[in-house]
């Protein structure tokens, strides 16, 4: 191929995932692994990660929607980054996503909408 492309070796990918999980299990009993949608947003790869119980880490409304379209439940999405719209902040709380607050404006909006937060920490 002449153009840039991703070449993913599935055997190596699953080996890396398993080695990472094993290393984490030795040190922490409470961990979650998340895949950066921004880094590689190929839908088949996102679906694959979802099947392997890897969370999606999204930084925009569009990435959040893509993760949902690829089968991630809201509670399997980390919503991060400074360009979240109020609509999607509200949606992410309704979906029980993990939401990283990135600005005072986001905090003010969250205080205004007073979302029902069902849990602070995940096991």
User: So where are the chain's domains?
Assistant: 31-113
Size of the chain, expressed as the number of residues it contains: 123
Angle of helix 61-69 versus helix 43-51 axis, rounded to 10 = 60
Determine the pLDDT at residue 19.
96
At 123 the pLDDT is: 40
pLDDT at 7: 87
Q: DSSP letter string over 28-97? A: -SS---EEETTT---HHHHHHHHHTTPEEEE-SHHHHHHHHHTT--GGGEEE-STT--HHHHHHHHHTT-
Hey, which CATH number is domain 31-113, 3.30.70.3420, 3.10.180.10, 3.20.20.10, 2.30.30.40? 3.20.20.10
The pLDDT value recorded for residue 4 is: 83
Which is it for the CA torsion 34, 71, 69, 90, positive or negative?
negative
Q: Which residues contact 10 (CB under 8 A, 6 or more apart)?
A: none
C-alpha–C-alpha distance, residues 79 and 91, integer Å: 10
Tens digit of pLDDT at every position of the chain (123 positions): 678 888 899 999 999 999 999 999 999 888 999 999 999 999 999 999 999 999 999 999 999 999 999 999 999 999 999 889 999 999 999 999 999 999 999 999 998 998 877 655 444
């Amino acid at each position: 191929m002449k153009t840039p492309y991703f070449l993913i070796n599935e055997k190596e990918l699953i080996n890396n995932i398993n080695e990472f999980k094993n290393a984490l299990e030795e040190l922490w009993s409470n961990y979650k692994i998340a895949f950066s949608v921004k880094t590689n947003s190929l839908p088949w790869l996102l679906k694959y990660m979802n099947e392997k119980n890897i969370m999606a880490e999204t930084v925009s409304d569009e990435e959040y929607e893509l993760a949902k379209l690829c089968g991630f439940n809201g509670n399997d999405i980390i919503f991060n980054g400074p360009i979240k719209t109020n609509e999607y902040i509200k949606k992410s709380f309704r979906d029980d996503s993990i939401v990283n607050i990135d600005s005072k404006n986001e905090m003010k909006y969250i205080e205004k909408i007073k979302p029902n937060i069902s849990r602070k920490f995940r096991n």
